[in-house]
Amino acid sequence: MKNESECCEPAAMPMPTIHTLLLEKALSLGATAAILLPVETLVVEERFAALCAAPHRCPSYGLAPGCPPHAMPPSSFREHLRRFQQMLAFKIDAPIALLLGVERPALTRTIHSIAAGVEQEAVRLGLVGTMGLAAGSCKELFCPQEEICVVLERSLPCPHAQLARPSISALGINFSALAEAAGWPFAKITAHSPAADQQAMGLMAGLVLLPASAN
């Protein structure tokens, strides 16, 4: 016979219901669109993580745990992906000019807050081990005035742990392949593209890796 505590444990929510709630959560936090995809859809390549170091070394290279060479190398990340079954990909649409302009850090912080918010909601719903991934270095986004990262240099907890998430590019994720799998076309436009091109819409994306079942 079950004791009182056993009989009062709530039944795990069906996965389709959890997925629907997480998609709604991403939209409520500011995502333009969100979609569920099999984790096997992700393409992880060393060459993308290598771009953090060369040919144009990122100013945040080596300054945060989510940035190379401290970030999980792509080969380890591919192994780590075996723990997950599905992923929730989300994006924010914005004009290219805005993505390349002074608004970029605020937009990127929103990607982190969506990834962290969906991750926390997934854990609350029983998906322990869920992993949110965002864009850009947390050093330049959350600690631009700090001389050091206290996680790296002093082994202290991250003061922005509720928001800051690892960068998808640092892990070697092929962003173009992800956008294509999600059905989100975008043009590759840089700061050197003609101004007319920069009026076009672009996108910024994040991910939440989801385990197969709720505990």
* Site residues for ligand SF4 per CB under 6 A: 64-65, 138-139, 142-143, 149-151, 158-160, 164
Judged by beta carbon, residue 13 or residue 150, the one nearer ligand SF4 is: 150
Judged by beta carbon, residue 91 or residue 112, the one nearer ligand SF4 is: 112
Minimum Å gap between C-beta 120 and ligand SF4 is 16
83/114 Cα distance (integer angstroms)? 22
Judged by beta carbon, residue 151 or residue 178, the one nearer ligand SF4 is: 151
Minimum Å gap between C-beta 135 and ligand SF4 is 14
Minimum Å gap between C-beta 156 and ligand SF4 is 8
Q: Which residues have a Cβ under 8 Å from the Cβ of 159 and sit 6 or more positions away?
A: 150
**Dihedral class, residue 30 (left if φ above 0, else alpha if ψ from -120 to 50, else beta):** left
Minimum Å gap between C-beta 140 and ligand SF4 is 8
Cβ(207)–Cβ(173) under 8 Å? yes
Neighbours of 78 (CB within 10 A): 16
Find, among 119, 121, 126, the residue nearest to 13 by Cα: 126
Find, among 164, 22, 144, the residue nearest to 86 by Cα: 22
Judged by beta carbon, residue 90 or residue 142, the one nearer ligand SF4 is: 142
Minimum Å gap between C-beta 2 and ligand SF4 is 44
Judged by beta carbon, residue 141 or residue 182, the one nearer ligand SF4 is: 141
Which 3 state secondary structure label does DSSP give 129? Answer: coil
